[in-house]
Amino acid sequence: MAEVVVSRNTFLIGLVGAILASSLLSTVISSQLAVGPQGVKGDHGIAGPRGVQGVQGTQGEVGPQGEQGVSPWENSSISISPLDFTEGKHENFSYVGCTGTTPMWATVSLPQGVFVNNMTVFAFDAYNLGHIELELWGFNFTNMTFIGPITHIETGDSFNSGDTVHNDNTIENGLIDNQSCVYALKLFSNVPGSASSVLLGIKGVVISYEYQG
């Protein structure tokens, strides 16, 4: 077998070359490891399921509507029946006859703070020699004084026979004060006491009033 003889210089040169090659390779590898190429971006994960919506609460019941208030500028009226008079004809709810000169009275209830602006009387007459008078009065019970007549209607001694309508809008002291006063209609006539009560009378009365703000 032939013997391979390597000189010292050749060995050293080879060793140095090997060291240099190893160092260069290490540098290249380190460079590649330090700044490697960016990897492909991964996909977003799948979104989780949406939570179940809560149950809607039960709506409360709506309370009853309150009564409608009265407008402070609303006009209105009240009606007084023959039955409201102390001697009204109750059998057929039709009229109150007038005989003699003794007054009859009927209580009147009007809203607080209104102003009376008109009174209308529905009358009948089969006795042309007599007349009817109707008045609205007030009585102040704090100072014991009368108020009125607030309004006054007189048919006359010879108005047309049959049913007639009379009204009066000349009002005095027409402000209604229920805290201090009471109100009533006064009905009287000049029919002789011997005359039949069906000859002269009234069938009803309407008192109109207005609110003022």
Each residue of 73-120: pLDDT tens digit?
Answer: 578 888 887 777 876 565 566 777 776 677 888 999 999 999 999 999
Answer yes or no: is pLDDT of 8 > 90. no
Task: Give backbone dihedrals phi and psi of 151, rounded to 5 degrees, phi first.
Answer: -145, 150
- pLDDT given for residue 2 in this prediction: 47
- pLDDT given for residue 100 in this prediction: 66
Q: How far apart are CA 161 and CA 200, in angstroms?
A: 10
* HEC profile of 69-132: CCCCCCEEEEEECHHHCCCCCCCCCCCEECCECCCEEEEECCCCCCEEEEEEEEEEECCCCCCE
- Compare 206 and 164 and report the one with higher pLDDT: 206
How many residues belong to the chain? 213
- pLDDT given for residue 144 in this prediction: 92
Mean pLDDT of 149-171: 83
- pLDDT given for residue 213 in this prediction: 66
- Asked if 200 contacts 97 with a C-beta cutoff of 8 angstroms, the reply is yes
- pLDDT given for residue 62 in this prediction: 67
Q: Count other C-beta atoms under 10 Å from residue 135's C-beta.
A: 19
- Compare 98 and 6 and report the one with higher pLDDT: 98
- Between the alpha carbon of residue 9 and those of residues 5, 6, 16, 154, the distances in Å are 12, 8, 11, 161
* DSSP H or E run through 33: helix 8-34
Mean pLDDT of 173-179: 95
- Asked if 209 contacts 76 with a C-beta cutoff of 8 angstroms, the reply is yes
In percent, the amount of the chain with pLDDT more than 70 equals 56
**Residue pLDDT, tens place only, 50-74:** 767 666 666 667 667 755 555 555 7
- Compare 23 and 203 and report the one with higher pLDDT: 203
**Residue pLDDT, tens place only, 15-62:** 555 665 565 555 544 445 444 556 566 566 566 677 676 666 666 676
- Asked if 165 contacts 73 with a C-beta cutoff of 8 angstroms, the reply is no
Listed residue (108, 107, 109, 113) closest to 74, CA to CA: 113
**Sequence letter at residue 168:** D
- Compare 189 and 94 and report the one with higher pLDDT: 189
**Beta-bridge mates of residue 108:** 183
Average pLDDT, the chain: 75
Q: CATH for 77-210?
A: 2.60.120.260
